[in-house]
């Protein structure tokens, strides 16, 4: 495998009894990027992550991290990996400090400066029993444990599950800061805004298969913009002309809404000629792309 690949998943299938959870999954993650792993519940995201972490073993295929087989080099690789799951469980009978101390010893982390830095940045509660902490505070301790060894690869499985928006923002910042240090982050999620906010690339999963892996910026460039025009009472507006490439046109008493591929000069000139009171153009987001990919999925 080339050095330019941090994670390589090649033709991986996983069967649980008669259920085929993953079917010939292949994708690659580039180093020093934040790579999103997106899909609805049951798509196979967690199964793939458990395979990468060597918690479970593939029925078929190859998994490599930093050019090493994940099973044969499990212990060696974990010195360079940080892992956190959104629904993780800690030892409730320990305090945050005791837990971090235990994890430091297991990880062989001797220099505690990074840990102290994280405790301060995240404002983590370290002196209370973990069982008495809120979900958000437990998650902070989990994140400190994942980042304490300054891992080259950070693997996160729906890490913001159950976190309030403020905590989510802190979390995104920690992830972005880690990536800025030249590290790789692989993060599963079913929250579009999360992926859009922090990821450079995204792999879409559906029913145990990879749909596609794309750059988020390319994807957003392809995504439509939603234009909403508000008008005064008793003013009738005509529909946008075809030349604008508008779609999903809808009217209410005071508004006209439609999607355009780009809010370019052509669109702006047409809007300027309309008797509008207010104009809103929403930024492109992954929602529309996601909905197109998963339109037959009820859970989305």
Partner 1 sequence: MFRSIFTKTLYDKRWFMLGWGLGAVSLLALTAAFFPSLSGNGMDALVKSLPPELEGILGDVEDWSTYPGYLASAVFGLRGEMLFVPMAILLGVGLGMGDESNRRLYQLLAKPVSRRRVVLERWLAGLVVIAVVTGIVYASLVVVSPMIGEDVPYELLNGITVITALFTAALFSLTYGLGVATGRKNLAILVPVVWTMGSLLVDAFKLQIDWLKDLEWVSLLSYYKTADLVHDDINLNHVVVLGCIALISLIVALIAFQNRDIHEEA
- Residues of this chain that interact with partner 1 (CB under 8 A) are 50, 53-57, 74-76, 78-79, 81-83, 85, 87-91, 93-94, 98, 101-103, 105-108, 142, 145-146
Give the nearer residue to partner 1 in terms of CB position, either 142 or 208. Answer: 142
Give the nearer residue to partner 1 in terms of CB position, either 71 or 269. Answer: 71
Beta strands in the chain (DSSP E): 7-16, 19-29, 34-38, 60-65, 68-69, 81-85, 153-157, 184-189, 201-206, 209-215, 225-231, 247-251, 255-260, 276-282
Shortest distance, CB of residue 45 to partner 1, whole angstroms?
14
Shortest distance, CB of residue 85 to partner 1, whole angstroms?
6
Shortest distance, CB of residue 146 to partner 1, whole angstroms?
8
H helices of 148-299, in order, are 165-180, 192-198, 216-222, 265-272, 286-293
Shortest distance, CB of residue 270 to partner 1, whole angstroms?
55
Q: What spatial distance separates the first Cα and last Cα of the chain, rounded to whole Å?
A: 35
| Tokens 């973990």 found at | 130
DSSP lists the bridge partners of residue 13 as 60
Convert 113-139 into a string of H (helix), E (strand) and C (coil): HHHHHHHHHHCCCCCCEHHHCCHHHHH
Give the nearer residue to partner 1 in terms of CB position, either 94 or 220. Answer: 94
Give the nearer residue to partner 1 in terms of CB position, either 122 or 267. Answer: 122
Give the nearer residue to partner 1 in terms of CB position, either 17 or 165. Answer: 17
- For strand 60-65 and strand 153-157, is the pairing parallel, antiparallel, or unpaired? unpaired
What residues contact 149, with CB distance under 8 A and at least 6 apart? 79, 80, 82, 107, 108, 109, 114
Return d(Cα 19, Cα 207) in angstroms, integer: 11
Give the nearer residue to partner 1 in terms of CB position, either 82 or 136. Answer: 82
Shortest distance, CB of residue 179 to partner 1, whole angstroms?
20
Give the nearer residue to partner 1 in terms of CB position, either 98 or 274. Answer: 98
Shortest distance, CB of residue 21 to partner 1, whole angstroms?
11
What residues contact 166, with CB distance under 8 A and at least 6 apart? none
Return d(Cα 164, Cα 202) in angstroms, integer: 24
Running DSSP on this structure, what letter comes out for residue 203?
E
Shortest distance, CB of residue 220 to partner 1, whole angstroms?
33
DSSP lists the bridge partners of residue 260 as 225
- CA-closest candidate to residue 210, choices 59, 25, 21, 39: 25
Shortest distance, CB of residue 258 to partner 1, whole angstroms?
46
Give the nearer residue to partner 1 in terms of CB position, either 73 or 255. Answer: 73
């Amino acid at each position: 495998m080339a050095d330019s690949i941090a994670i390589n998943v090649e033709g991986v299938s996983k069967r649980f009894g008669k259920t085929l959870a993953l079917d010939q999954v292949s994708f690659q993650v580039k180093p020093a990027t934040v790579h999103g792993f997106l899909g609805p519940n049951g798509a196979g995201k967690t199964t793939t992550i458990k395979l990468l972490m060597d918690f479970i073993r593939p029925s078929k295929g190859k998994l490599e991290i930093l050019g090493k087989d994940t099973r044969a080099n499990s212990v060696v690789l974990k010195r360079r990996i940080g892992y956190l799951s959104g629904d993780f469980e800690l030892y409730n009978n320990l305090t945050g400090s005791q837990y971090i101390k235990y994890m430091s010893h297991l990880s062989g982390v001797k220099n505690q400066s990074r840990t102290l830095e994280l405790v301060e940045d995240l404002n983590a509660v370290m002196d209370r029993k973990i069982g008495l902490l809120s979900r958000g505070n437990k998650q902070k301790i989990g994140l400190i444990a994942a980042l304490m060894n300054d891992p080259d690869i950070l693997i996160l499985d729906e890490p913001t599950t159950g976190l309030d928006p403020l905590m989510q923002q802190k979390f995104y910042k920690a992830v972005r800061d880690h990536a800025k240090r030249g590290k790789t982050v692989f993060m599963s999620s079913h929250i579009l805004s999360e992926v859009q906010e922090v990821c450079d690339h995204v792999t879409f999963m559906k029913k145990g298969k990879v749909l596609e892996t794309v750059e988020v910026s390319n994807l957003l460039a392809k995504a439509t913009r939603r234009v909403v025009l508000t008008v005064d009472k008793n003013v009738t507006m005509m529909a946008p002309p075809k030349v604008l490439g508008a779609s999903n046109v809808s009217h209410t008493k005071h508004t006209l809404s439609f999607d355009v591929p780009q809010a370019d000069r052509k669109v702006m000139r047409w809007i300027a000629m309309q008797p509008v009171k207010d104009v809103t153009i929403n930024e492109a987001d992954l929602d529309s792309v996601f909905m197109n990919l998963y339109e037959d999925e009820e859970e989305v």
